[in-house]
Amino acid sequence: MIDIKDKNLENQLKNKNTALISGGSLQNGSVPFYNEYEKILKIKEKNILLNAHTGYIPPEHFEKTLIFDTISLDISGSDKIIKQIYNLNLDLGKLQENILAYNDFLLKISGRKPKIVPHITIGIYYGENSSEEEAIDFISKISTDKLVFNILIPTKNTEFENVKKIEIKRVLELIKYSKEKLKNRLIYIGCMRPFGKYREDLDFALLENDVDAIVNPSTKFLKFAEDNLKDCIKLNGCCSIF
């Protein structure tokens, strides 16, 4: 992670081909990338592919997003996730209206423009059912060619420390539902998911469920894929971009 205000930013970006622009959000759900627009523009001038976490995008800043290659949006299916997990002063309806307005804005752009890449974190509501189906239903309304699933990681010294790991069966159910609802769109399993045996078991379970990409696979699965999956392609960079 590199602070965009770092005086040595230019040197630290040498030999990089992709970058993620991210940060903490304001109470309205917006990640204020627009306040650092000139610095981001200098990064883009180095021909680096840029993915961005934007959160809620104020309409007056829609134009500034055209600098990015992809926009990664966390999609929630209920108000309680936005208010109790993200602690935002924002309701689901307003957030969805903003995403749809931004989607309409991009559809009117005929030239170069970023792609929206929706992300869903399975089990984000303390490991319980987290309205993932409702989030998938909403994604069907926007123009996107892929969906990235992340999976909640029980993390020490947080309120999620004792949350049970999400059952692999539940992950597979949501993959099936998304493939039925989001026809002809790619399904990726993102980098945020538990490590160790859980990751290994999940990676192999995904073999029979026709996902299009597995990010940061377990060592055992990676070796299996390299030895046995002839169509397997290994890429380096943020999954939203590839």
- The answer to whether the Cα torsion of 139, 69, 185, 218 is positive or negative is negative
Q: How confident is the model at residue 33, as a pLDDT? A: 96
Domains of the chain: 9-228 (3.20.20.70)
Quickly state the pLDDT bin for 136 (edges 50, 70, 90): very high
pLDDT (tens digit per residue) in 182-227: 999 999 999 999 999 999 999 999 998 889 999 999 999 999 999 9
Quickly state the pLDDT bin for 64 (edges 50, 70, 90): very high
pLDDT (tens digit per residue) in 30-42: 999 999 999 999 9
Flag whether pLDDT at 236 surpasses 90.
Answer: no
Quickly state the pLDDT bin for 103 (edges 50, 70, 90): very high
User: Coil, strand, or helix at residue 97?
Assistant: helix
Flag whether pLDDT at 1 surpasses 80.
Answer: no
Quickly state the pLDDT bin for 44 (edges 50, 70, 90): very high
Whole-number Å distance between alpha carbons of 207 and 204: 5
Rounded (10°) angle between helices 132-139 and 168-181: 20
Q: How confident is the model at residue 54, as a pLDDT? A: 97
Whole-number Å distance between alpha carbons of 143 and 188: 16
Mean of the per-residue pLDDT values of the chain: 94
CA end-to-end span of the chain: 20
Q: How confident is the model at residue 56, as a pLDDT? A: 97
Whole-number Å distance between alpha carbons of 29 and 154: 23
